[in-house]
Structure formats: C-alpha cells, structure tokens
Amino acid sequence: MSDSILVWFRRDLRDTDHSALGEALRQARRVYCAFIFDREILAALPERTDRRVEFIRDSLVELDAALRLRGGGLIVRHGWPREEIPRLVQELGVAAVFVNRDYEPLAKERDAAVAAALRRAGIGFRSFKDQVMFDGDEILNRAGRPYTVFTPYRRAWLARLTEAHRPAPGQPSATLAAPAGASQVPTLSALGFHAIDHDQARLAAGMNGAQRLLDDFLGRIARYAEQRDFPAVKGVSYLSVHLRFGTVSIRRLVLQAIAHGALLDPAGGAATWLGELIWRDFYFMILDHFPHVTKNAFKPAYDAIAWEQGTWADDAFAAWCAGRTGYPLVDAAMRQINQTGYMHNRLRMVVASFLSKDLGIDWRRGEAYFAQKLNDFDLAANNGGWQWAASTGCDAQPYFRIFNPLTQSERFDPAGKFIRRYLPELSKVPDRHLHAPWRMSQSEQAACATFTGGAIHEPLVDHETARRRTLARYSVVRNRAAP
C-alpha cells in the first residue's frame, strides 16, 4: 500500500462512483485531491463570460465541500498542468498520481508529458477508465479492429454490459487529506472571467444539479422515444453538460436506464436513451482510435470535396451563425445556442445539415462554432455529430440524404412554439405561413413586420437548388471506396 496518492480531477467533478478516487482510497493510506484551471484552455476561450467556466467553478465549490465533509478537500491551482502537477507532487511528497483517462489528442499529449516528468522523478502515474463504459481494445470486431459502424458496435457493447456496468470500486479505509486553510477555489474574477447576466438562466451545476435533472428525467423517461425530437417539448434529459464535466457518472446513468427497462423493451424510452449513451461511447472510441478526425474527414475520400469559399461563403456563414438564414427552424436553433449555450439534439442535426449541404460550407467551420458556444461541448460527440451530418464520418448519413429545413420544421415544431420563442419577429405570422414566411404576400409581410418591428428574411438559398448543387459537390466521392 502506498503512503499517499494525488488524485488529479479533470472532467470528473464528483466524489462518488469515481474510478481514480476509488482506486486511490483502496491503495493508499492518505489521498490528496487537486484540480488545475488550465491557463492554455482558458486563454483560448473567445469570451470572458463563459457559462462553462462558471459551471466548472460552481461544481468545484460543491466538490470541495463534499470532500471536506469526508475529512479532505480540494487543492485548486491556476496554471499549466505540465508544471503544476509535478510541482504539487513535490510539495505533497506523494508516491503516485491517479487520473481518469481523457481521449482527446491534446489531453493525451498533456498526460504523456506529465507522466514522463513524474517518471523521471520516480513518481508513478496511473490512469483509469471512467468517462465511458468501454475503452481501448475492450470492444473490437472479429478481425480485432475497432468498429466503424454503430449497429454492430451497439450489439457488442450490449453483449459486454453485464460484466461492466457495476459502479466504481468502493471507497473504504484510506484517509482523505485536507488542504491547508479554507476553500481554495478561486473566484471567477481571479480567473479573468465575469459572471453571466443573472437575467439569463444559470446552469444547474455540480452533483446536486445533476441529481435534480436526473430525478426529473426519470419521471419522463418512458416518453423519451416519442418526445425527444420535439424542441418545444420537455422530452430530453438535459444531462449532457453533466456528463461532459463528470458531475454524474456514465455508469450511474446506464444503471438507471437498465432499472427502467432498457434491456426488456427495445422500443421503449429507456432503451432509446441507452442507445444515445452508447452513441456517446462510440464517438469516444472513434476519437481515441482515429484521431485524424479532429482535422480531417473520417473517410479520406471526402477531403476532396470543394466547399464554398470567398465572400459569399463568409457572409452566408455569418448569417447562419446569427440566425438569419430565412429558414425559421434553423434560425431559431441558432438563436437558442447564441442565447443559452444549448441546442436541442434534433436541431443540431438540422443546422449542421443546412450549413454543409444547403450552404455548401465546410463542416469544420460549424464544428468550431459549436465548440465556442455549446455548454456541453465535447470534442468526440461534436466532431462525430458534425461528420455524421456532413456524411464525412463513420456510419454517417449517406451524402444523398439531405435534411429539408422546411419539412423538418413542419414535422418537429408543427405549432411553431419553439420558433416563436426565439424569433419574436415572427410572433404575428399566421400558423399557415410560419414555417415559410417568405411565401406571404408583400402586404402580409409588411403587416407582420409592423406588428413586431422585425423584418422577414428571404431564404439564403432555395433548398431544391441547393440539393442539386450538393449532389454535384459530393460526386467526387461517389465512386471512391470508404475505409
């Protein structure tokens, strides 16, 4: 048994069902806990008001309090992890650093550098699986290679579930070591950030925030399959930001899905939700095994696509970002992400398809915009979703299947409740014209604009014309073999 171990928290901001913490408490007499606000990551954020930073900070306050109730506490530093962790190890005199694995390329480089520095000093560095159910080579196809199609991956994932869905090991005898003094969690201003406008909804942070959302969702989970695609309906779990920052464990959510019948009724709400959790694991696996996806198409042939460039493309991209494309559902979705940092999953597919296939703009520009705006931004899921919509990824939507923004609007927001919430300039548009307001007569448009003080935008592109252009654009890959 080691005398002392440091647990380095990253995207796992909880003190229960935590793989690295559980193992440290089993293997050491004394366990320290630390979190580093990474200066490199924070400096790259485009705004000094960022809900994600506030969410992390609020979650750390709660985590520190939870650890102190158990006799410990959280050491928080603001710096570069490659420097701060070796320095902290030297200050504390620990024998090893335990972490939960991160699968993003830059995080893997960071951990390799920290591990090498510690190894030179004779200090151990161990990583554990925590943010996914399966990783590494746990799920491979019969040829011993990673799956690149979701359905067989899902079958293999479910086949292994019974031996892997147990919570992380218990946390018995070790002592949590308390940091000196009162809480060390810095204020937002000390980090160089400002609090969000309190007129806007704040995220329910921390383990308690995750618990409240989970409790609420479990009362609705039976209706998930029927309601999850309608943005005006409270049909989804809203737990994605908590999964992103680890204020709830994936194991716990999988167990809840099973407890609500996910393995008994394949068409039920719990099974459908479990399927989404499996997609999350799938995209982590793809990122881990195929890191080229962060810069290129998963299918190399699709890198030959000639995306729109120049002034028109830049102006169209700016209009898409601002929610001024003329297609109400697309525009309402973009206003939602700009105002709240959240976008409903169905709408993520709609706006991604519109950018890449109606406007012909490189999916990577949209992926980067989502990375800036989404509270729950996760490289694996964001990249996977964008490549799915653009048909460049693994198991992606075929390039010739193109979402029609008008029919998507009519089907998934039929009463226009979501559209009117985020596009007040359309509040007086009659229901029969709401999904295509440009089809109103000039006098009708003028009357609606008078009522609301806003203009009705003509669509940037005609969908049918754009569809033909997309089919021609993608013809360069039609006869090329995918990997």
Catalytic residue among 8, 157, 273, 363: 363
Cβ atoms < 10 Å from Cβ of 407:
12
Catalytic residue among 157, 273, 279, 320: 279
Dihedrals φ, ψ of 7, to 5°? -100, 120
**Contacts for 155 with CB less than 8 Å, ≥ 6 apart:** none
Catalytic residue among 80, 83, 138, 276: 276
Query: Where do runs of H (alpha helix) occur along 70-205?
Result: 81-92, 105-120, 150-161
Angle between helices 310-322 and 363-373 in degrees, nearest 10: 30
Q: Is 280 exposed, middle or buried (0-12, 13-18, 19+ CB in 10 A)?
A: buried
Residue 127, beta-bridge partner list: 99
d(CA 406, CA 473): 22
* Cβ proximity of 74 and 35 under 8 Å: yes
The greatest distance separating any two alpha carbons of the chain, rounded to the nearest whole angstrom, comes to: 81
Catalytic residue among 296, 338, 345, 404: 345
345 in active site: yes
Catalytic residue among 83, 138, 307, 410: 307
Residue 308, beta-bridge partner list: none
Dihedrals φ, ψ of 380, to 5°? -60, -50
Angle 368-316-372 from CA coordinates, rounded to 5°: 20
And the tokens for 73? 């506490």
- Which 3 state secondary structure label does DSSP give 483? coil
Give the start-end residues of each E strand in 12-146. 28-38, 75-79, 96-100, 124-128
141 in active site: no
Query: Where do runs of H (alpha helix) occur along 374-413?
Result: 379-389, 405-412
Residues in the chain: 483
Catalytic residue among 157, 320, 386, 388: 386
Write the CA distances from 16 to 70, 177, 470, integer angstroms: 12, 17, 49
Q: Provide DSSP, 207-273.
A: HHHHHHHHHHHHTTGGGHHHHTT-TTS--S---HHHHHHTSS-HHHHHHHHHHTTTTT-TTSHHHHH
279 in active site: yes
**Residue in 146, 147, 139 with CA at minimum distance from that of residue 164:** 139
Write the CA distances from 99 to 20, 129, 316, integer angstroms: 5, 9, 43
363 in active site: yes
d(CA 453, CA 64): 49
Catalytic residues: 276, 279, 307, 345, 363, 386
